[in-house]
Copies of this chain bind each other. A is one copy, B any other.
C-alpha cells in the first residue's frame, strides 16, 4: 500500500504548503536528498497553540503539534517531488520550546516519528534528534525538520 492510500486510511489530508515566514523556501532537493525547512505546527495559517511545553502547553498537546509539523513537512515534499518519490525518511530533528526543567522532548517528537512510521512503514524509520530550546518562531511550541531520500531524477523522468 502506497503512502497516499495510507494517508486516506488514516483519514489524513495533506495540508496546503505553509508559506515560509522568511526569505527561504519550504524544501530543497539536492541529488537524491530533500531537506525541508523547519516546520511549525500551522493549521490553516495559524498556530493552534503557542508557548513552551511544560508551561502553557502540555506534552500531550505538543505531541499532536509535532504530528502536524511532520504533516506540513510532507506537504512541502509532496509539492516539490511528490510523496511517492520518498524511498527513505533519513532524519528528523525536533525542536521543542521547553520550560525550565521540561525533559520530555522524546515523547513530544514521537508525534512526528509515529506519523512517519504509520505512513511509510519500514521506509519511515529515521534517525532523530530531539532538543529542548528556549523559544521558536511565532512562539510555536514545536518545530520539526525532515531529510528524506527520494528516487533518482532519471528514474522519475522514465516513470
Chain A residues close to B by CB (< 8 Å): 20-28, 30-33, 35-38, 88-93, 95, 97-98, 100-107, 109-110, 113-114, 117, 125-139, 143, 145, 147, 149
Contacts and interface: CB of A to CB of B under 8 A. Distances in A.
Nearest to A132: B135
B129 A143 contact: yes
Contacts of A139: 103
Nearest to A26: B127
B30 A33 contact: yes
Given A127-B35, A129-B143, A143-B131, A90 B28 contact: yes
Copies of chain A in the complex = 3
A131 B22 contact: no
Q: Which of A28, A36, A110 has the most CB of B within 10 A?
A: A28
Contacts of A98: 134-135
21 contacts: A20-B128, A22-B109, A22-B110, A22-B128, A24-B126, A24-B128, A27-B127, A28-B91, A28-B126, A30-B32, A30-B33, A30-B88, A35-B91, A38-B131, A98-B134, A102-B134, A129-B145, A132-B133, A132-B135, A132-B137, A134-B134
